Amino acid sequence: MTEAADKPTVALVGTLDTKGAEYEWVAERLAAHGVGVLVLDAGIRPPIGLPAPLTPAAPPVVIGQDEVAAAAGTSIAALSDGNDRGVAVTAMGEGAAAVLGPLVARGAVHGVLALGGSGGSSIAARAVRDLPIGLPKLIVSTMAAGDVSPYVGAADVTMMYSVVDIAGINQISRAILGNAAAGIAGMATAYARRSPVADDRPLIAASMFGVTTPAVEAARARLEELGYEVLVFHATGSGGRALEGLARSGLLAGVLDLTTTELADDLVGGVLTAGPDRLTAAGAAGIPQVVSLGAVDMVNFGPAETVPPKFADRQFFVHNPTVTLMRTTPEENAELGRRIGGKLANAAGRTVLAVPRGGVSALDAPGMPFQHPEASAVLFEAALAAVAASGVEVVDSPLHINDPQFAVVAADRLHALIAARHPAAVS
């Protein structure tokens, strides 16, 4: 296999047994835009329309389906004999990821483009999931007009709706696929020419919600003063998943997880859950973390009319026409305290639980609608009890979470944890 070292290269990831003609057409467009083309065949039946040399000087590099399957630890024969489409899609997605990763790492690929329906989009999504943030990733999909979270996940994937099925080149698909080819060619060219920014500040990930913004802003200012770069993630489910993914990547020096509200949605059934594994990646990786209980006084729903009827007798606050907040109960708060404390107690790295007894959100304050002393008390006590027998350090503060002093203390404690782990990296 040869590599195009003198110009940007776009990898086409797709099933040539069903979309070969479409990939051939897109490959021709990419060559016309002056980029190299590398094709990963993720199909399991004999390919059709395999890209032929586009010009004598720019033949596409083709990585065949056998190599992709082998990278997943299987074979095309085994996948064909198994006659299980789900297994085949999963395997070829894993194989494509295993092949792409090293190519990107050594600078042989500068962008990825895929075309497909649900199966092809799933393969492509897995193929690009672990690629570096900033590397262009574009999927043209029949699924892009709906919920794209299964395909995007926590990656910076761009989804383009195909409008018509990807079945031949016609007046509509010609325009859309042409735009996709032009777009990925331009992005790949810009990516290849990008000069690295000289910034070696240690990275901190922080979680924030509208009702904890003052806390995170004050903590961020303090951490930047101490020499860190702070990446803020909006705790909307996807933000929490992105934070967890970055913690697994090994790029973070520490985590300031002041806003753990997504766990309330996961427990009660709100729309902004990040899943049950939220608040586990930093602990598993041994990354220093300071964690608080921000916004666990609320569960998130859409417009008021979308709240499930079973919650009709609960306390609500209409945040705006598209967001309705529901106050968590003492029983739910007790369980949240146990869950959060339990996750921290299992952490492999240095961990601090910061308890803001003055309130956990802007709505949980004197005179505000979600102030509920009983619910707050059981939350705090459950969390403290869960970490009592562990090595988790506790900052038990009388302050409100949005009090700047609380935020600065949290930032300073995280700095101290990082300095203890990496003294040479922190001034």
Confidence band, pLDDT 50/70/90 cuts, at residue 54: very low
Confidence band, pLDDT 50/70/90 cuts, at residue 47: confident
Confidence band, pLDDT 50/70/90 cuts, at residue 425: low
Confidence band, pLDDT 50/70/90 cuts, at residue 197: low
Confidence band, pLDDT 50/70/90 cuts, at residue 424: low
Confidence band, pLDDT 50/70/90 cuts, at residue 198: low
Task: Write out the H or E segment, with its range, that includes residue 411.
Answer: helix 404-421
Confidence band, pLDDT 50/70/90 cuts, at residue 49: low
- pLDDT averaged over every residue in the chain: 92
Which residues make Cβ contacts (< 8 Å) with residue 56, sequence separation at least 6? none
Q: What mean pLDDT comes out for the span 17-45?
A: 93
Integer CA distances (angstroms), 167 to 13, 22, 64, 222, 402, in order = 16, 7, 22, 55, 54
Phi and psi torsions of 26, nearest 5°: -65, -40
Q: What mean pLDDT comes out for the span 201-216?
A: 96
> How many other CB atoms are found less than 10 A from the CB of residue 250?
8
pLDDT at 383 over 80: yes
Q: Say what the pLDDT of residue 12 is.
A: 97
Q: What mean pLDDT comes out for the span 162-177?
A: 94
pLDDT at 3 over 50: no
Confidence band, pLDDT 50/70/90 cuts, at residue 247: very high
Confidence band, pLDDT 50/70/90 cuts, at residue 239: very high
Q: Say what the pLDDT of residue 56 is.
A: 44
pLDDT at 391 over 80: yes
Q: Are 331 and 264 in contact (CB under 8 A)?
A: no
Q: Say what the pLDDT of residue 62 is.
A: 87
Q: Say what the pLDDT of residue 58 is.
A: 55
Q: What is the pTM of this model?
A: 0.77
pLDDT at 241 over 60: yes
Higher local confidence (pLDDT), 155 or 339 = 339
Q: Say what the pLDDT of residue 191 is.
A: 95
Q: Which residue has the tokens 């707050």?
A: 376
Q: What mean pLDDT comes out for the span 46-63?
A: 64
Q: Say what the pLDDT of residue 194 is.
A: 86
Q: Say what the pLDDT of residue 427 is.
A: 55
Confidence band, pLDDT 50/70/90 cuts, at residue 177: very high
pLDDT at 302 over 60: yes
Task: Write out the H or E segment, with its range, that includes residue 161.
Answer: strand 158-161
Q: Say what the pLDDT of residue 42 is.
A: 95
Q: Say what the pLDDT of residue 59 is.
A: 63
Confidence band, pLDDT 50/70/90 cuts, at residue 53: very low
Confidence band, pLDDT 50/70/90 cuts, at residue 196: low
Q: What is the DSSP string of 96-137?
A: HHHHHHHHHHTTS-SEEEEEESHHHHHHHHHHHTTSPTTS-E
List, in sequence order, the alpha helices (H) in 269-311.
281-285
Confidence band, pLDDT 50/70/90 cuts, at residue 48: confident
Q: Say what the pLDDT of residue 29 is.
A: 95
**What percent of the chain stands above pLDDT 90?**
82
